Amino acid sequence: MIRATQIRAQHRWTEATADTVVLDFDDRHRRRMAMRGTRGLEFLLDLENATVLRGGDALVLDDNRLIEVVAAPEPLAEIRGTDPQHLVRVAWHLGNRHLPTQITAKGLRIRRDHVIEAMVKGLGARVIEIEAPFDPEGGAYSGGGHEHAPESDPHHHAAHDHSSHDQGDQGHHPDHHHHDEHCDHDHHHDRSHAHDRK
């Protein structure tokens, strides 16, 4: 099977692509995985390190053809603050719980989680349910840049106690679970197909 061993960063390429893969947040955190593009091209993602793929990246095949990465829409909660200072305060609470968070011009986006949504509403924020691609900040969570330090299978969400979120900031836990109530999420097999080969 032909391999993809390199990545060209978001939109830093102009060549025509051989195919496209549409991947959700979990399937964009990989090192090695069999993939099938929307036009049927099958290949093996085979990177040196587990990597955070972003929408707009291109995977480079052994024969130098490019596969475009498209971030699939997912159920998200968009959090709006009353003013910038209020939104920063909410962002601090999300960061304190190690939640992957996307920053947009309008507010903050997280994966749907009724416990966290109740928390931010309690802080006076507005929560809007949306469907959109999820492209959270990297930073310490992902190891910085395109690197994704912990090479674990994101399909196996460890059990955790949401009650810790309601006990103030002293109750946060150090691991970075996704806190996603949609653990049995659809991986969009109608658009792309992926199997872990770990």
Determine contact, residues 22/192, Cβ cutoff 8 Å. yes
Closest of 75, 102, 98 to residue 185, by C-alpha: 75
Query: With a cut of 70, which residues of the chain have pLDDT below it?
Result: 139-198
**Tokens encoding 91:** 């962002």
pLDDT for 181 equals 38
Q: Indicate if the alpha-carbon torsion angle 132, 102, 26, 97 is positive or negative.
A: negative
pLDDT for 13 equals 85
Neighbours of 56 (CB within 10 A): 16
Q: Give 90: exposed, middle or buried? Use CB within 10 Å, 0-12, 13-18, 19+.
A: buried
Average pLDDT of the chain to the nearest whole number: 77
pLDDT for 14 equals 86
pLDDT for 45 equals 95
pLDDT in tens, 29-41: 889 999 999 999 9
Helix/strand/coil percent split, the chain, to 5: 20, 35, 45
pLDDT for 130 equals 97
pLDDT for 11 equals 73
